[in-house]
Amino acid sequence: INLNIGLLLGANLKSQGYKVEFTRTEDIGLYTEGKSVKEKKYEDLNKRVSLKEETKCDIFVSIHLNTFPESYCKGAQVWYSNYEGSERLANIMQGTLKDKLDQSNKRKAKAAGTQYKVLRGNDTMAGVIVECGFLSNTEEYQKLKDEEYQKKIADALAESISIYLKEGAN
């Protein structure tokens, strides 16, 4: 689901003339086989951070799906790095996701702090993690599996990115 949303987002942005870089375009991890789950996760995250730094991109968007032990949790939420402009990008995204997907979503964009490795460090670009919804919520999970809904998410994110870049990154 994450990969498909990312690919749809990339296609939308490319159609608008933006240059898009991906950390992956196939459903594979960025790690070496034969390692423990913990080692694979660590290597995968480190490679994503390296790719982010190598591309020297204007913004970094990492797409995720959330889960929670209680099934009542739902709604997209955006987390942002401490780099200048990240909070503004996250707020634009959070608002657009609410408008386009679920107007009852009361979640707010939040500072990631040190919580997410891909948003830590000496970034040179705005960075966000988009939690597109909760797999642990049956109703939301059904929506997230639907390709039309995935396209709605991607289109909302593309619209947000376009607004952010057209208004000036900082």
Q: Return the CATH number at 141.
A: 3.40.630.40
Which of the residues in the chain have pLDDT under 50?
A: none
Tell me what pLDDT residue 83 has: 84
DSSP state of 80: E
Tell me what pLDDT residue 112 has: 85
Say if CB 133 and CB 65 are below 8 A apart: yes
Domain enclosing residue 28, as ranges: 2-167
Q: Give me the amino acid identity at 44.
A: D
Q: What is the total count of domains within the chain?
A: 1
Tell me what pLDDT residue 11 has: 98
Say if CB 64 and CB 135 are below 8 A apart: no
**Would you call 88 helix, strand, or coil by DSSP?**
helix
Q: What angle do CA 83, 89, 93 make, to 5 degrees?
A: 145
DSSP state of 79: E
Say if CB 9 and CB 23 are below 8 A apart: no
pTM of the model: 0.87
